[in-house]
């Protein structure tokens, strides 16, 4: 079954997409220039041949472990979790006794204590992922697990470590060189949220036995026209990523400043969190952008859906479906009359009916909506989705006139936290914090 974008309910006739569509030639030229100069490895995947070789070299090594503990945050964790939840659901199900991936992507002392107390060191590989090599949430956990591994494993500790970081710079690179730790690179110009199809997402996927070749093939299918050096505006204007981008940009012009990602493929729910980071960190700039809102079909029909349907009319929606989800068990015949309508039907028919019903209701309530209907829910389709949404995000940012590849505004909070921990060289931040803390507080007990 084909993968389809259904634009029927996108409200294209009420949006002024023409100004954005007219920029296809300019955008195509920019793609040609930046893919040619190596600035967009997310699209070219120029690192892939080398990476595949490295992954194949590591396959047997990874098989020697039962547990992988991934230390990373943001783009260094969200893609791995989406792949894990989509293609290795057995870890969350009763009776699991295969490999286990644990993702430590927060400053959560409770979780950390539990990993320290229960993971068997001899059977655990600790994968630390940080492009910059200096993110305190990640490197802080690395320090703790380094000490743990040294105590438990003695001289063998470094064999249980794998570092995924910048090829040349940063603390983790130095650490790897100093301690002879295995490493894999995060390629230049590949920011965290665009890195799931590099070692960042593929090492955990390989460990779990996910079909990474299909993931990559799916992504390649989508990006192939975009990295063609002869790309023209005409070709780009037919590409779904550009069509999504012009839609997203024209939605912003009309005040639709929230973008729901409604996933009616339950196992793919964590792609909502991956998308949210991609969309928010890429597009939330200079007072512009739309707030991503991940939602899970059908669970969130009983939660945030009321707001989607009848709250502020500022929401658009990417609606993810798959008509070939498993049918599941059949409802029993012996049912009370009031549930007669499901007698003899499969459980899986319910999600299709509810998806259709909610999609139609959103549309009738004025939510512009594009349905992404995946022909099946395998890794190839996930690769296609990753590439499509990543490319659409980059193009939307370009149409908005912002840089979709950086995230400068998140730095202030990090600097202030470091100042609070008394890091050197942050005198201004320390003074600001002292002023903030010594100002009159309005506190009320409850
Ligand atoms: O998308 C991004 O670039 C960020 O969210 C990063 O992934 C996140 O801040 C972690 O950075 P690093 O991989 O350098 O530790």
> How remote is the CA of residue 287 from the centroid of ligand 1, in Å?
22
Pairing of strands 258-263, 291-296: parallel
Mean of pLDDT values over 11-29: 97
| Residue 71 to residues 74, 100, 144, Cα–Cα distance (Å) | 11, 14, 11
> How remote is the CA of residue 118 from the centroid of ligand 1, in Å?
28
**166 ligand 1 Cβ < 6 A:** no
Nearest CA to ligand 1 atom 9: 74
Active site residues per annotation: 281, 302, 414
**130 ligand 1 Cβ < 6 A:** yes
**74 ligand 1 Cβ < 6 A:** yes
Nearest CA to ligand 1 atom 12: 130
**131 ligand 1 Cβ < 6 A:** yes
Which residues lie across from 165 on neighbouring strands? Answer: 130, 185
pLDDT higher at 1 or 105: 105
> How remote is the CA of residue 419 from the centroid of ligand 1, in Å?
20
Phi, psi for residue 77 in degrees, rounded to 5: -140, -35
Q: What is the CATH number of domain 4-34+219-400?
A: 3.40.50.10490
Task: Summarize pLDDT for 302-350 with one digit per residue, the tens.
Answer: 999 999 999 999 999 999 999 999 999 999 999 999 999 999 999 999 9
> How remote is the CA of residue 191 from the centroid of ligand 1, in Å?
7
What band does 252 get if pLDDT is binned at 50, 70 and 90?
very high
Task: Summarize pLDDT for 166-191 with one digit per residue, the tens.
Answer: 999 999 999 999 999 999 999 999 99
> How remote is the CA of residue 412 from the centroid of ligand 1, in Å?
15
pLDDT number for residue 342: 96
**192 ligand 1 Cβ < 6 A:** yes
d(CA 163, CA 106): 18
Where do the structural domains in the chain lie, given as residue ranges?
Answer: 4-34+219-400, 41-213
pLDDT number for residue 298: 97
**135 ligand 1 Cβ < 6 A:** yes
Query: How many other C-beta atoms can be found within 10 angstroms of the C-beta atom of residue 83?
Result: 28
> How remote is the CA of residue 192 from the centroid of ligand 1, in Å?
5
Task: Summarize pLDDT for 406-423 with one digit per residue, the tens.
Answer: 999 999 999 999 999 999
pLDDT number for residue 345: 96
What band does 30 get if pLDDT is binned at 50, 70 and 90?
very high
d(CA 75, CA 272): 13
| Residue 373 to residues 319, 328, 389, Cα–Cα distance (Å) | 8, 20, 14
The rounded percent of the chain whose pLDDT value lies above 90 is 100
**138 ligand 1 Cβ < 6 A:** yes
Out of 81, 135, 186, 273, give the residue to mutate to test ligand 1, the one with the largest number of ligand atoms within 8 Å of its CB.
Answer: 135
Nearest CA to ligand 1 atom 8: 74
Check whether domain 41-213 has CATH 3.40.1000.10, yes or no: no
Query: How many other C-beta atoms can be found within 10 angstroms of the C-beta atom of residue 222?
Result: 23
Out of 41, 76, 171, give the residue to mutate to test ligand 1, the one with the largest number of ligand atoms within 8 Å of its CB.
Answer: 76
Nearest atom of ligand 1 to the alpha carbon of 410: 9
**193 ligand 1 Cβ < 6 A:** yes
Is the fold of 4-34+219-400 the same as that of 41-213?
Answer: yes
**191 ligand 1 Cβ < 6 A:** yes
E-strand stretches of 290-437: 291-296, 315-321, 369-373
Nearest CA to ligand 1 atom 3: 192
Token couple for 233: 């505006």
**77 ligand 1 Cβ < 6 A:** no
pLDDT number for residue 245: 98
d(CA 31, CA 36): 8
Nearest atom of ligand 1 to the alpha carbon of 129: 13
pLDDT number for residue 412: 93
**314 ligand 1 Cβ < 6 A:** no
The rounded percent of the chain whose pLDDT value lies above 70 is 100
């Amino acid at each position: 079954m084909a993968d389809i974008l259904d634009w029927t309910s996108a409200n294209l006739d009420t949006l002024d997409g023409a100004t954005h569509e007219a920029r296809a030639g300019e955008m195509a030229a920019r793609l040609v220039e930046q893919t040619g100069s190596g600035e967009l490895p997310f699209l070219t995947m120029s690192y892939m041949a080398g990476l595949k070789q490295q992954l194949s070299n590591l396959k047997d090594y990874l098989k020697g472990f039962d547990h992988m503990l991934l230390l990373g945050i943001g783009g260094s964790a969200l893609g791995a979790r989406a792949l894990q939840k989509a293609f290795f659901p057995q870890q969350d199900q009763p009776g699991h006794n295969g490999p286990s991936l644990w993702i430590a992507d927060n400053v959560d002392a409770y979780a950390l204590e539990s990993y320290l107390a229960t993971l068997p060191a001899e059977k655990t590989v600790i994968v630390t992922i940080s492009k910059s090599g200096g993110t305190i949430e990640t490197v802080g956990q690395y320090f703790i697990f380094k000490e743990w591994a040294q105590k438990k494993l003695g001289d063998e500790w470094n064999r249980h470590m794998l570092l995924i970081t910048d090829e040349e710079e940063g603390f983790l690179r130095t650490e790897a060189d100093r301690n002879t730790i295995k490493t894999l690179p995060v390629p230049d110009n590949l920011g965290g949220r665009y890195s799931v199809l590099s070692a960042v997402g593929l090492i955990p996927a390989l460990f779990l036995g996910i079909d990474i070749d299909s993931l990559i093939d799916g992504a390649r299918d989508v990006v192939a026209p975009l990295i063609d050096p002869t790309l023209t505006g005409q070709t780009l204007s037919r590409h779904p990523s550009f069509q999504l981008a012009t839609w997203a940009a024209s939605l912003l012009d009309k005040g639709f400043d929230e973008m729901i990602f409604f996933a009616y493929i339950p196992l793919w729910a964590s792609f909502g969190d991956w998308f949210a980071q991609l969309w928010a960190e890429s597009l939330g700039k200079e007072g512009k952008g739309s707030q991503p809102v991940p939602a899970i079909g059908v669970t969130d029909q009983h939660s945030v859906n009321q707001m989607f349907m009848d709250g502020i009319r500022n929401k658009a929606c990417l609606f993810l479906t798959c008509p070939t989800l498993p049918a599941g068990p059949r409802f029993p015949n012996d049912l009370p009359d009031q549930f007669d309508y499901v007698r003899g039907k499969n459980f899986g028919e319910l999600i299709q009916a509810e998806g259709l019903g909610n999609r139609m209701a959103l549309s009738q309530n004025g939510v512009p909506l594009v349905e992404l209907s995946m022909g099946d829910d395998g890794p190839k389709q996930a690769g296609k989705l990753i590439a499509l949404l990543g490319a659409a995000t980059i193009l939307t940012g370009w149409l908005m006139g912002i840089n979709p590849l950086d995230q400068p505004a998140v730095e202030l909070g990090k600097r202030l936290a470091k100042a609070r921990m008394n890091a050197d060289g942050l005198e201004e931040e320390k003074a600001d914090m002292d002023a903030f803390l010594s100002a009159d507080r309005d506190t009320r007990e409850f």
